Amino acid sequence: MLTRACQLLNMGPVQVSSRIKFLLPVAGVLVLGLFVFLGVTISLHAEAGQLVILVAAAGAVVVCAVVLIVWAVLIQRPLVEMQDKMARLRAGDMDVSVSFAAQKDEIGELGRNFNETVRQLRESREEVQRLYRTQMSRAEHPVPPGPDPLPKPPPGPGPGRGGDPGGLPRGLAHRQQVRP
């Protein structure tokens, strides 16, 4: 809902931290548990102390269950999917992508980066295969020998042919003559 409101105000999508997404439900359950605990203890008489402890223990179990469920949904499930997709990519499947890339948090950003990396790998692999096919095609159909495209140097003294060192600076010309 917050994301939709920001889009209506032309603020763009809001990226919510995964910590906030993790802690907000836990904090809500804790506050709700506190109110239930206060309500139960106020309504009970002194002899019902054991019931208060039982309610507190049940509340703690509920809070732990909610924390585990939130952790499993928000963090563990995308990471398990990422591990599976990475194993498939390592096995050579270049058509993998993660489904949680649309999330507006760090986990979603990780998914978007993974999908982009796979896309770049796929394009690079296709380019290498294209270049390989081009080279193999040239090897199967070599260019027939023809006239040499490079002109022959004129005979006589010149650079690399003995005699004049061919316009080398004076110090270099001297070094070339001194060396055996």
Cβ atoms 30, 66 nearer than 8 A? no
User: Is residue 161 in some structural domain?
Assistant: no
In percent, how much of the chain has pLDDT > 90? 26
Number of domains in the chain: 1
User: Is residue 8 in some structural domain?
Assistant: yes
Residue 101 Cα distances to 59, 134, 142, 147, 154, angstroms:
35, 36, 48, 58, 67
Q: What is the pLDDT of residue 93?
A: 93
**Tokens read off for 82:** 């990422």
pTM more than 0.85: no
Q: Give CA–CA dist 108/177, Å, rounded.
A: 69
> What average pLDDT is seen over the chain?
75
Instruction: List the end-to-end C-alpha distance of the chain, in Å, as a whole number.
Output: 85
> Is residue 9 scored above 80 in pLDDT?
no
User: Is residue 125 in some structural domain?
Assistant: yes
User: Is residue 171 in some structural domain?
Assistant: no
The sign of the torsion formed by the CA atoms of 90, 96, 97, 99 equals: negative
Q: Alpha-carbon dihedral of residues 48, 54, 56, 62, nearest 10 degrees?
A: -150
User: Is residue 174 in some structural domain?
Assistant: no
User: Is residue 172 in some structural domain?
Assistant: no
User: Is residue 88 in some structural domain?
Assistant: yes
> Is residue 84 scored above 60 in pLDDT?
yes
Q: Give CA–CA dist 165/159, Å, rounded.
A: 5
User: Is residue 153 in some structural domain?
Assistant: no
Show the domain range for 13: 2-140
Cβ atoms 33, 74 nearer than 8 A? no
**Tokens read off for 30:** 């804790």
Over the stretch 144-162, which tens digit does the pLDDT of each residue have? 666 665 666 666 665 555 5
